[in-house]
Structure 1
Amino acid sequence: IFVNPVTIDEVITAMKTLKSGSGAGWDDVKPSALKEVADLIVVPLTDLINLSLQQGVVPVELKIARVVPIYKAGEKQELVNYRPVSVLPSVSKVYERVVYNSDFVSREKQ
């Protein structure tokens, strides 16, 4: 399968869409920190994403999530009153957004 390479501009756009107040994944890198260093990491991150798309393999580190219990209602001591939320690494969120916005996915949606 041929996949058009993603551009630096596409990666920057994806990084800007990250919610700054979101929590960090297992790597403890918050989206706000990723945004602050965007200019420094955009080229290697773009290369990583393109290599991953070419090889058809997502790095395992981008698939690991931190699971956080979120309180719903009722007694806080009862485990059933919590729901699990999976928090992916910020880089994983950028990767997903770039792929979602790419021409390849757009053609598949039609």
Structure 2
Amino acid sequence: MFLAPKDPREISRLIESLKCKNSSEHDGIISLLSKDIKLDISFPLTILINKSVKVGIIHDLLKTTNAIPIYTAKDKEQFNNYRPFSLVTTIPKLIDKN
């Protein structure tokens, strides 16, 4: 598998393509805030993402998600009536988008 290096313009476009959500992730970065400061953060994020891809290591904090239970149907007391929903942080979303 080969991932091409990103450039700051591409990172800016990827940030702009993220869904606007007001919920804060466990890293404290809100996608709406990321969009507002995309020009300021695109260059440092490009360095971080390209380095992670090049060495094949992604920091453990970027691999962490918050899983929340989402009610699906029937009895709310039954564990099987919930499905997990994972909140993934902004930076891994940018790494995954190609």
* Fold match by TM threshold 0.5: yes
TM range (shorter): 0.7 to 0.9
| Residue 39, structure 1, aligned to residue 42, structure 2 | no
Deviations 1:31-87 (A, max 9, x none): 112111212211110010111112111122111000011110112232221111111
TM-score (norm 2): 0.85
Aligned pairs (5 A) from 1:1-110? 4-21=4-21, 23-97=23-97, 101=98
In 2, the alpha carbon distance for the partners of 1:3 and 1:27 equals: 25
In 1, the alpha carbon distance for the partners of 2:40 and 2:5 equals: 20
In 1, the alpha carbon distance for the partners of 2:2 and 2:92 equals: 22
In 2, the alpha carbon distance for the partners of 1:25 and 1:67 equals: 11
Cα deviation for residue 92 of structure 1 reads: 1.2
Deviations 1:5-38 (A, max 9, x none): 2111111111111100374432132211211121
Aligned length: 98
Cα deviation for residue 4 of structure 1 reads: 4.2
RMSD, matched Cα: 2.1
SS at the partner of 2:68? strand
Aligned partners of 1:24 and 1:87 also within 8 Å = no
SS at the partner of 1:29? coil
Q: Larger deviation: 18-27 or 59-68?
A: 18-27
Unpaired segments of 5 or more residues in structure 1? 102-110
TM-score (norm 1): 0.77
Unpaired segments of 5 or more residues in structure 2? none
